Every structure is written in structure tokens, then in C-alpha cells.
A and B are shown apart, each in its own frame.
Chain A
Amino acid sequence: MPDTLTLSVPGKAEYVSTVRLAISSLAAKSGFDVTAIEDIKVAVSEACSNILCHSNIRDEYIYRVECTIHENKFEITVIDDGVGFDADSYKEPELGCIQGGGLGIYIIKALMDDVRVVSNDGAGTVIKMTKNISHSSASQAEKHNKR
């Protein structure tokens, strides 16, 4: 059975960097190379920021970040029960036309191997993202850990 690490995170901006560091440290131990760790770091941070920006949450609010380490993949789920949004109406930003909104989910999708966003008005949001562990980087990390 794969291990799962769960973080309960206060809905305050200053804790996003703590989540980012915790998850990237776990990714490093799971055998990812530097580039993949950086991708995971940005993606998890974007998912947390998405909650803080769009879920209309208050300071006392707690959301969850779950990270499950499988043999060949790393699965991160960010869960909030805020106001949610209509995920079906999400449109990718038009990259030719420079703008600020909508970049977060777009960046997550670009960096991770699989991304699912489930959100409904009034029922919160779940962002589930997966990064596959390549065997070459896993064995490199294993060798490094044995030294």
C-alpha cells in the first residue's frame, strides 16, 4: 500500500511556501531529478494559490494537501471545500494575448503528467495532479542515497 502524507494548511498566503518546501522535499526523496522537483514545486504552489484566490476563504479556513507516493508516480491532491467554481467553464488563457488571469491551472497542466480538476459552485474544488517517476532518475537518486 502506498504511503500518503497529508498536510492541513491554514488558508493564509504565508503557508504556501511551507507546503511547497515539504512536497518538494518528499519529491526529492522519491527519486525525481531537479527539473521534475521544480515542476512539482510550482504545480503544488499554483494549486494552493488557486484555492486562496478563488475559493473566497477566510483566515481560519483549513485546506488539505495529500501526497501519495506510488512506485512509479507521485500523486498530489489539493482539496478545499470553499465556494468552488464551474470547472467546465474554465478556458485556457489566450497566450498570444497577454493577460494575468487563468495562468495557474494552465501552468499546472503544462508541468504535470496528468491533471484533474473537479469543482462545482458551492461544493469546493479538488485538484489532483500526477507526476510519473522515470526509472532513470529513480535509480540515480537511489545510488545517491546509498553513498
Chain B
Amino acid sequence: MSLSINGNYDEQKKRWSFDLIGEIDISNAHQLRKQLEAAYDVHPSDIYLDLDKLNYIDSTGLGVIIGVYGAIRGNEHKTVILNPKDNVKKLLRITSLDKVLIEQ
């Protein structure tokens, strides 16, 4: 199972954008945590996660995103999820995370 994480800091918008590609579960959720934390250390700013090409995520992946949300919220930075597929959207809805992670 593979996960690619492509991160880019947008100097104009002053925010991080990440494309998450593949699948996230207990075997690789730590990679996501590491990369998001490292990026935030370089440029503390909002983090946008594009899930258009993410086919699968479970509670360990969601746990990482929740952790990041909690860690940067205190600095008034937000974590935003974009373009989740239907199966991912369903999990976000079940856990009510859609209300805080998807911009309405």
C-alpha cells in the first residue's frame, strides 16, 4: 500500500497545500504526521489537504489530521480538507469532522 504526500508552500496565499495520493492507514499514518509537522515548523501557517486522489483513510489517518488541527488551532491557523471522495466524505460525516475540517 502506498501513500504519496506532495507539499507546496504558497508564498502569495501564505499557506501550505498538500496533495495526499493513495491510501492512509496504520502502516503509514506516521509519515503524514512527520511531513505535516516538519512543514509547519518551516512555515507556521494554514494547512490545506487535497484528498482528490486519496482512495482510503481510516481512524489512524484521521487521528493525524485531528492532531494537526488541534496543534495549530492555538496559533489561529486552520486545517482544511478539500475534495474528499465519497467514501472518505462518509467517514468525515460519521465522525462529524466534516463540520470543522471542510469549509462550508
Contact = CB atoms under 8 A, between A and B. Distances in A.
Interface of A: 13-14, 16-17, 20, 38, 41-42, 45-46, 48-49, 52-53, 93, 95-96, 98-101, 103-104, 106-107, 110-111
B87 A38 contact: yes
A53 B26 contact: yes
Nearest to A110: B94
Q: Chain B: interface residue count, which band?
A: 20 to 34
A49 B94 contact: no
B58 A49 contact: yes
A45 B58 contact: yes
Nearest to B96: A95
B23 to A, nearest CB: 7
Contacts of B66: 98-100
B100 interface: yes
Nearest to A51: B26
Contact of A107 (B25, B59, B87, B100): B59
Given A103-B95, A107-B91, A110-B94, A42 B58 contact: yes
B59 A49 contact: yes
